[in-house]
Amino acid sequence: MAKKKDAKKKDSAMAEEVKKAEEPQEPQEQPTEPQEQEQLDLIDIHPENAKPIIAAARIYKKLVGKRLDVLAQEVEQKQKILDLVKEAKLTPLENGVVRFKYDNVTISITPRDELVKVKDENPTN
């Protein structure tokens, strides 16, 4: 019996705490001046092989930068090809593709998305 009474007391105490938590509370005064807070230092947690990971990441970042530079040049050259082909006023094939071959290089342009393909049978690096 004593256990049941203790359990009921605990239940009623918990119910009162829940009611208090659900009741709207008066807002506490906010400080009028912002408090300066210091940022905590980052925790130095890393895997055992962090050095090679960081080395690979640095190389990757450099390559991405180079790729973006090369991509800009690629876009510029593509536009130059498109402009020159449009200037030549070549007659497209039935499917709308403009294609021609000269000096073992085949140029194919799909006008819908201005896809440019260049196939060089004798590539020179």
**125 residues of the chain, pLDDT tens digit each:** 555 555 556 566 666 665 555 555 555 555 556 567 776 666 677 778 888 888 888 898 888 888 888 999 999 999 999 999 889 988 889 888 899 999 999 999 887 776 777 777 776 65
63 and 72 Cβ atoms separated by less than 8 Å:
no
Nearest partner of 104 among 116, 90, 122, 81, judged by Cα:
122
Two structure tokens written together for 54: 């960081």
Cβ–Cβ under 8 Å, residues 90 and 84: no
